[in-house]
Chain A
């Protein structure tokens, strides 16, 4: 199964490796035509302002928005979560706005406050997931149809809205690929 990974900037290589490890066929996407044939899409972590500008410049907003609206599964991590959100606190930056969530950027502080911690993610089973949070956002409001899958100290950090999945942390930076597997399992339906 071909899975697109938006490769404009950020940690796209790690997502490609995680996907390949699970038997999917990752496709780096930098231009709209590279989305053809992709059955699902990952929007990686990076700088959301940089990714947004390059998406705008190379005409990727409309095709990805259409894919999302048509039911193609999309998984956003960190900056990818920001791109998927409808509301971004205090910012007018461009976004896909596909998910009924509001997010706050750099919600945990600057880099010296970045951290890793165990997270309980019931949909992945009893074993906790190691969450790596780097200048991470958090979900500050959740609208209809959005399911909260994990919280860290009362802060929402993993959400799902049907075929759309968003994480404030970086599953691609650890060896544990259960969240990628969960996303792919949903994509095969």
Chain B
């Protein structure tokens, strides 16, 4: 019997993206540059996070003609973002045939209490998480891939590092808890008990976990890989830099050879200016994208 949209198939595409770089693109031309540089997928957007931040107002799912043109221009998988809780935007993207949906804090949330019930969809979802409880809640709702939230559009990797270290630390802690303490741990984290028991046994998330939010240099990408991430999302970091094609190629190489300082030194040379960065303390807490999601 043939089955589509199974958990194995949804999670399986994320497994195929591992060790790769997924790049934000806003035009077919940028999508081709990303593919040519070795991106394993692209995220089709109307604006990159740095521009969303600058523009203000309400950020929604991208215009479908942009997404369609990007899908037609490359052979690698194409992802697109929907607002948190906006299940109709997700239905539309599933109909359109995008390969992965990002229920993303980069866009303005459509629901201040609930995320999308992602189990109902055949298309797989990726969601952001700052800590283990958040990651397990999203998995419980049906997310087939997790990423750090970081702080999008800042070119500052510090928040992605914080979120990755937080998830890893909480996983490590769970592995040493006696079984009778796991229910209280699940309660404290606000996470489904069955998933808490499962990760306490294995010490790792039951799916692929990428880094996202603030990655701007090859060294940033390698840092997140050495911290245990399975791959990298680069948002504004490529196309807000001086030489996008060269930087994209360098970040791809750094993600593969993340443990090889010789390669990292070679690819980090002569890339031109990185995107301008922002210190997190200059962004008011209510304007931080990572605070979106529940």
Contacts and interface: CB of A to CB of B under 8 A. Distances in A.
A118 B3 CA distance: 10
A141 interface: no
A117 B3 contact: yes
Contacts of A118: 1
Contacts of A83: none
Interface in A97-154: 105-106, 109-118, 132-135
B99 A135 contact: yes
Nearest to B12: A134
B76 A116 contact: no
Contacts of A173: 8, 12, 15
A112 B15 contact: no
A110 B39 CA distance: 17
A46 B19 contact: yes
Interface in B71-88: 75-77
A78 interface: yes
| Chain B residues touching A, range | 35 or more
B165 to A, nearest CB: 22
A109 B255 CA distance: 28
A9 B251 CA distance: 13
B12 A132 contact: yes
Contacts of B15: 10-11, 14, 45, 173
B20 A57 contact: no
B141 to A, nearest CB: 19
B218 to A, nearest CB: 14
Most B C-beta atoms less than 10 A away, residue of A115, A117, A133: A115
A99 B61 CA distance: 44
A110 B12 contact: no
Given A54-B256, A135-B99, A115 B3 contact: yes
B73 to A, nearest CB: 13
B142 interface: no
Contacts of A109: 97
A9 B255 CA distance: 9
A57 B8 contact: no
A111 B75 CA distance: 12
9 tightest A-B CB contacts, nearest first: A111-B99, A53-B38, A47-B40, A9-B19, A117-B2, A114-B9, A9-B20, A11-B15, A115-B4
Interface of B: 1-6, 8-9, 12-13, 15-20, 35, 37-41, 75-77, 94, 97-100, 122-124, 252-253, 255-257, 260
